[in-house]
């Protein structure tokens, strides 16, 4: 060990960088304001649009799970408890922006013009559901974790290269922030100052891995700071806060201010998917506590207190949503399945010989079984 005195005392070392991560929330669990509210809080139409999206999504979720449980749908990933995150995103994006989703953002997708029938088709194993009739440039649902994040950076790069005032938004979970693709995309976005919003749906669980075991970081938002991007936390169960902070991030990206990361703090009230049984790794009391903070009740109570909404309107909305979901489910159930050989049809412009013979064999077997 050196006995030489240090030239600079440790306490006098220059601090070369300081960072902070802010948390934004406006409503308490009962929907009362805890601080001065942003503009949207006094715009009843805007609030009702958020609320409608959340109620519709929750109704859609319930139907999807019922279809899966009765053998009419494949594995399904619910958005229960996280509706405010996705409604707010749908409300702040413009039609010309591009959504690069993972697999829980039904609220956003529906607001952007994807239909419930298309979503049912997808989870029913029919890829035609991802060939949206509406938002043609939005990306399909992405199940491989975090792989869509660099794609979104690529989309944002194209927008910037063409000088278009558009924004790419990608959404992913707390678990995805441990993946290399996330870091690589965030790094590129920072260096190239891309019009990209990285939205982390921190629902506290990655299947059975709790947030505490996912990362030793105090916040996931600070992972952006390492890439030179601003990162912040928002109460993901507060639709007003989500709208406020996401619109700031999207506006900033659109106006040349570059990328941002928004970490929405929410909670997955459902199983991970219908293939999961969370009771094997999660205590009931934990879920009960989080039901107290769920986003639909909070916004409803706020709107009722402001006299923007009443119980009659609420009942009418619930009924409309149920009817719309039932109609979409019927349209899905009435859709004739694709022929099995269609699985060969979309990967190659010209099918290689080995696959062509397999396709022909399958088509013949199919014909014989139908005869
Ligand atoms: C590359 C890859 N690895 C593993 C999986 C299996 N898998 C599916 S969902 C999931 C957890 C994702 O958790 P998180 O990112 O927090 O999203 P959440 O489902 O909680 O919304 C994992 C590991 C996968 N789909 N893709
Ligand atoms: Mg998660």
Do residues 285 and 357 share a domain?
Answer: no
**Domain ranges, residue 299:** 18-338
31 alpha carbon – ligand 1 mean position (Å): 32
Do residues 203 and 303 share a domain?
Answer: yes
Do residues 333 and 343 share a domain?
Answer: no
pLDDT score, position 312 = 98
Please report the atom of ligand 1 found closest to the CA of residue 268: 20
351 alpha carbon – ligand 2 mean position (Å): 38
pLDDT score, position 339 = 87
Tens digit of pLDDT for each residue in 1-42? 556 766 778 888 899 999 999 999 999 999 999 999 999 999
Question: Which of 147, 151, 206, 268 has the most ligand 1 atoms within 8 A of CB, as the residue to mutate?
Answer: 206
- The domain tally of the chain equals 2
Would residue 7 count as lying in a domain?
Answer: no
Would residue 143 count as lying in a domain?
Answer: yes
Segment 108-136 mean pLDDT:
97
Share of the chain residues as helix, strand and coil, in percent rounded to the nearest 5: 50, 10, 40
Would residue 184 count as lying in a domain?
Answer: yes
Do residues 216 and 350 share a domain?
Answer: no
Would residue 1 count as lying in a domain?
Answer: no
pLDDT score, position 12 = 85
Q: How confident is the model at residue 116 (pLDDT cuts 50, 70, 90)?
A: very high
Do residues 76 and 39 share a domain?
Answer: yes
Would residue 195 count as lying in a domain?
Answer: yes
Question: Which of 145, 178, 269, 282 has the most ligand 1 atoms within 8 A of CB, as the residue to mutate?
Answer: 145
Q: How far, in Å, CA of 196 to CA of 155, rounded?
A: 9
Tens digit of pLDDT for each residue in 153-197? 999 999 999 999 999 999 999 999 999 999 999 999 999 999 999
Would residue 9 count as lying in a domain?
Answer: no
Q: What is the CA radius of gyration of the chain?
A: 23
Do residues 241 and 352 share a domain?
Answer: no
Do residues 273 and 347 share a domain?
Answer: no
Beta-strand ranges (E) seen in 101-190 are: 168-173
The residues annotated with a catalytic role in the active site are: 268, 272, 281
Would residue 5 count as lying in a domain?
Answer: no
Q: Closest ligand to 103 CA?
A: 1
Please report the atom of ligand 1 found closest to the CA of residue 214: 16
Question: Which protein residue's CA is at the shortest distance from atom 20 of ligand 1?
Answer: 206
| Contact (CB, 8 A) for 270 and 81 | yes
Do residues 241 and 276 share a domain?
Answer: yes
Do residues 357 and 223 share a domain?
Answer: no
Q: How confident is the model at residue 121 (pLDDT cuts 50, 70, 90)?
A: very high
Share of the chain above pLDDT 70, in %: 99
């Amino acid at each position: 060990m050196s006995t030489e005195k240090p030239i600079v005392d440790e306490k006098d070392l220059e601090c070369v960088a300081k960072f902070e991560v802010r948390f934004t929330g406006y409503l308490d669990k009962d929907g009362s304001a805890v601080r001065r509210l942003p503009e949207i809080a006094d715009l009843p139409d805007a609030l009702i649009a958020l609320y409608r999206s959340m109620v519709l999504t929750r109704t859609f979720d319930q139907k999807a799970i019922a279809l899966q449980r009765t053998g009419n749908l494949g594995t399904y990933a619910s958005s229960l408890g996280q509706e405010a995150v996705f409604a707010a995103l749908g409300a702040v994006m413009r039609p010309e922006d591009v959504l690069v989703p993972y697999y829980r953002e039904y609220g956003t997708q529906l607001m952007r013009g994807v239909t419930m029938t298309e979503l049912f088709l997808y989870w029913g194993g029919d890829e035609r559901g991802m060939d949206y009739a509406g938002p043609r440039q939005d990306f399909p649902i992405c199940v491989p974790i975090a792989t869509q994040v660099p794609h979104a950076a690529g989309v944002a790069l194209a927008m910037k290269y063409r000088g278009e005032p558009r924004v790419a938004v990608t959404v992913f979970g707390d678990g995805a922030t441990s993946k290399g693709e996330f870091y690589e995309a965030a790094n590129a976005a920072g260096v190239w100052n891309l019009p990209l919003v990285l939205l982390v749906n921190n629902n506290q669980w990655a299947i059975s891995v709790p947030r505490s075991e996912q990362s030793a970081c105090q916040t996931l938002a600070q992972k952006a700071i390492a890439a030179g991007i601003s990162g912040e936390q928002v109460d993901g169960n507060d639709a007003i806060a989500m709208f406020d902070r996401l619109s700031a991030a999207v506006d900033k990206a659109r106006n040349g201010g570059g990328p941002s990361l928004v970490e929405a703090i929410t909670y997955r009230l459902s199983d991970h998917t219908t293939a999961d049984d969370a009771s094997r790794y999660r205590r009931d009391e934990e879920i009960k506590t989080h039901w107290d903070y769920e986003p639909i009740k909070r916004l409803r109570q706020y709107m009722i207190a402001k006299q923007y909404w009443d119980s009659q309107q609420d009942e009418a909305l619930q009924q409309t949503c149920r009817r719309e979901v039932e109609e979409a489910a019927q349209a899905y159930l009435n859709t004739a399945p694709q022929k099995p050989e269609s699985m060969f049809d979309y990967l190659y412009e010209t099918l290689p010989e080995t696959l062509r013979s397999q396709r022909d064999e399958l088509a013949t077997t199919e014909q014989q079984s139908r005869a």
